[in-house]
Amino acid sequence: MRLSRYFMPILKENPKEAEIVSHRLMLRTGMIRQQSQGIYSWLPLGKRVLDKVNAIIREEQNRAGAIELSMPTLQSAELWQESGRYEDYGKEMLRIRDRQDRPMLYGPTNEEMITDIFRSSVKSYKSLPLNLYHIQLKFRDEIRPRFGTMRSREFLMKDAYSFDLTQADAIHSYNKMFVAYLRTFDRLGLRAIPMRADTGPIGGNHSHEFIILADTGESEVYCHKSFVDFDIPSADTDFDSVDGLQSVFDKWTSVYAATSEMHDEAAFDAIGENDRLSARGIEVGHIFYFGTKYSEPMGAKVQGPDGKEHLVHMGSYGIGPTRLVPAIIEASHDENGIIWPASVAPFDAVVINMKPGDEACDTTCDRLYVALQNAGKDVLYDDTDDRAGTKFATADLIGVPVQVIAGPRAVAAGEVELKDRKTGARETLTIEAAINKLTA
C-alpha cells in the first residue's frame, strides 16, 4: 500500500476526550472514528488489525472443532419471550419495532437464536457434540460506554455455542474452548488469566473470564503470580482427548484467580505475600456452561442412545475482538506510539523513502516494495514528500514491527537500514540481504 494513496487520517494533537492510552492512540493513528456515543467506524488501518485478530480467533475456533455460521444482528422478540429473557434483560437491550409493529431487538447475544436453529434441525444424539460460532456485531446500551472500543455500545463478538447429550460431554466441550482461548490470546501476544467469574444475565454456575492484567482495566482481580510461567497448550493438542484437556484445565485452575464478584478473601490471604497479585484487568473473553437453561424453556431435545428424549446441555463462549485491539495496545506501546505484535500488525513492514524523486531512492524502494509483496508480506510504502522526521514519527506511531529506511547515502552504497520498532535496534544491510531477511 502506497501511503500517498492510502486513507490514514493521523491526528497531530492528542484527542482530549481519550482518557486511556489505547483510545488516544487508536484515534491519533486514524484507526477508528466515533459516529455516535459508543458507536465506531473502523477506518482502514484499524480494520486491518481487527481482521488479523479475527483470523487468529477463527483459526483457533476451527482447530477446536467449532463450525462457523452467520446469524443476523436483528432478532425477533418472540424468541426471547420463550426463554424468559425479554423482560429480564432490561435497558441494555435495544428494542425496535418494524413497520408491522412487530417487536424486534438488536441482539446483545445469541443463545436464543442458536437454540432455535438447533431445535429445528438436530434430532439425534448422533449429531453431537456440536459447536457453532459466528463473529458478528452486538448491541448493548451500556450505561457507561467508554475508552473507545474497549466498552462500546455496538461491538464485535465471537460467540460460540456448544450442544451435548450429557453434562460430562458438555464439560469436555467447555474444556475445548478453554484451551482454544489460551492459544488464541497467546497468539495475540497476550497473557490472559482464566478467573472464576459471575455469570450475570447469561446464567449457569460454571464460568471463567479471561483477563489481561492492565492498570487501566475495569475489573478488580486477585490471583497467584505463578500464572506467568504456565505453558500454553501446543498447536497439536488432541481436542478429542477428554483426560488431556481436563488436565490442562486442572493445571490452569489449580491456583487462586478470581474477579472481585467471586473473590474469597480467606483463600487469597492463604497465598504467601510474595506470590499474591491484586491488580486491575481487562476482560477479553468469557465462557459459560449453563446446562439446560435455554434448552428447557425452548424445547431443544435429542433422542439418546436409550431411545428417549433428552434436553441438550449447552454452553456459550465469547471473545470481544473490538475490545482486544485496544487491550493489545494497552499491553504493548511506548511514548512514541503502538508496538504491534507481528501476528496482528496492520503491515509487516514499512518502507520509508527518505527522498522521493531521487532516482536511486525510488528504484530501491520500488524493488523492496515489490519483492516483499511478492513474498506475501503486507507492506506500507511511505512515498509521501513529508519531512524525514514526520515519516519516522508516523512509522513509530502506527507501530509496524520493521522499518526499512532508504536514504540517498545508504542507497548509493547499495544499502538500506532496518529498524526494529520494539527494541529500536538498527542495522545496515545490502538491499539483497534486507529482502532475504524480511522474506525469510
Residues lying near ligand P5A in the complex (CB under 6 A): 109, 140, 142, 151-152, 155, 157, 159, 202, 283-286, 288, 316-320, 322-323
CA distance 365 to 380: 11
To ligand P5A, the closest distance from the beta carbon of 433 in angstroms equals 43
Taking the least distance from each CB to ligand P5A, the nearer of 137 and 228 is: 137
**Cα within 13 Å of Cα(35), Cβ side:** 9
Cα–Cα nearest to 25, from 40, 16, 41, 14: 14
3-state secondary structure of 6: coil
To ligand P5A, the closest distance from the beta carbon of 225 in angstroms equals 23
**CB 323 within 8 Å of CB 23:** no
Taking the least distance from each CB to ligand P5A, the nearer of 293 and 301 is: 293
Taking the least distance from each CB to ligand P5A, the nearer of 151 and 421 is: 151
Q: What are phi and psi of 398, to 5 degrees?
A: -85, -5
Q: Is 266 exposed, middle or buried (0-12, 13-18, 19+ CB in 10 A)?
A: exposed
To ligand P5A, the closest distance from the beta carbon of 43 in angstroms equals 18
CA distance 386 to 374: 27
Taking the least distance from each CB to ligand P5A, the nearer of 125 and 161 is: 161
**Neighbouring-strand partners of residue 103:** 97
Q: List the helix and strand counts (H, then E) for the chain.
A: 14, 23
To ligand P5A, the closest distance from the beta carbon of 203 in angstroms equals 10
Taking the least distance from each CB to ligand P5A, the nearer of 52 and 391 is: 52
To ligand P5A, the closest distance from the beta carbon of 176 in angstroms equals 15
Taking the least distance from each CB to ligand P5A, the nearer of 125 and 210 is: 210
- A 10 A CB-CB count for 214 gives 21
Cite the DSSP H helix spans in 11-110.
Answer: 21-28, 44-63, 77-83, 85-88
Taking the least distance from each CB to ligand P5A, the nearer of 194 and 401 is: 194
**CB 145 within 8 Å of CB 264:** no
Strand order in the sheet with 415-420: 379-382, 349-353, 402-406, 415-420, 426-430
To ligand P5A, the closest distance from the beta carbon of 121 in angstroms equals 20
To ligand P5A, the closest distance from the beta carbon of 94 in angstroms equals 12
